[in-house]
Amino acid sequence: MVTKQTADQLNAEFNEKEIVEALKHIASQFPGKVVFTTSFGIEDQVITDYVFKNGIDIKVVTLDTGRLFEETYKVYNRTLEKYQKPIQPYYPKNDELESFVGEKGPNSFYLSVENRKQCCFIRKVEPLGRALDGMECWITGIRASQSNNREDMLLFEWDGGHEIVKYNPLRDWSLEDCKAYVKENQVPYNVLHDRGFVSIGCSPCTRAIQPGEDFRAGRWWWESNSKKECGLHTHQ
């Protein structure tokens, strides 16, 4: 059984070690219970390459919200072709999504923060819960510099909401580090990154950012007073 102490122990042991070594260790320590969630952004593609290229026994999954960019699906398919490894999709529950859209319409998330968060919950948070069910270690592509509320994040964290150890191998990487890695290793990446998109989520909720804008400015840009998170990484 994993606990917060498990995360503390892993931080003490692996803070200065290479990513591949850490990935192999946690795959061995939690056999069959390590999952990596990818959205096919540039950070996630770096981790996918580490996992697949080194044949590490880690389950790779993705949350298909049904509102993703066409470019994202192209990266998904190119990744399958390159590595010949499975990526398990998780979809929203039909009855919940049909009820939500039937009651409020397909674009109700523009009308209120409450609607947007409900949409995120149905399309992302609930499927994530199923993806993490029974798992003991969750690998993410989060970087500390992506937003102010992530500056103090640890390499290994305890997610109390899901009762799971969360590993953030790219915590100290910059966006430029990720770009250099995918170029050097010929990793498929989303061409939207070349068009000013730094954080790529659902198509209606993501735009390119302008020079000097905050990293998260491209997500839910019509909201001015809400915390710009979808709920996937808020349980500590």
pLDDT per position in the chain (236 positions), as tens? 899 999 999 999 887 668 999 999 999 999 999 999 999 999 999 999 999 999 999 999 999 999 999 999 999 999 999 999 999 999 999 999 999 999 999 999 999 999 999 999 999 999 999 999 999 999 999 998 876 666 688 999 999 999 999 999 999 999 999 999 999 999 999 999 999 898 899 999 999 988 877 777 888 988 875 555 554 555 44
Is the CB of residue 60 less than 8 Å from the CB of residue 87? Answer: yes
pLDDT of residue 213: 79
pLDDT of residue 227: 56
Q: How many CB atoms lie within 10 A of CB 35?
A: 22
> How far is the C-alpha of 35 from the C-alpha of 29, rounded, in Å?
13
pLDDT of residue 164: 97
As given in the structure block, the two tokens for residue 98 are 């049909």
pLDDT of residue 97: 98
Q: How many CB atoms lie within 10 A of CB 117?
A: 18
As given in the structure block, the two tokens for residue 27 are 């795959």
pLDDT of residue 226: 52
Instruction: Please identify, in words, the CATH class of the domain defined by 4-192.
Output: alpha beta
In this structure, what is the dihedral angle of CA atoms 174, 39, 1, 155, given to the nearest 10 degrees? 0
Q: Which is the catalytic residue, given 119, 202, 205, 230?
A: 230
Domain residue spans of the chain: 4-192
N-term to C-term CA, the chain = 17
Is the CB of residue 178 less than 8 Å from the CB of residue 42? Answer: yes
Q: Is 202 marked active-site?
A: no
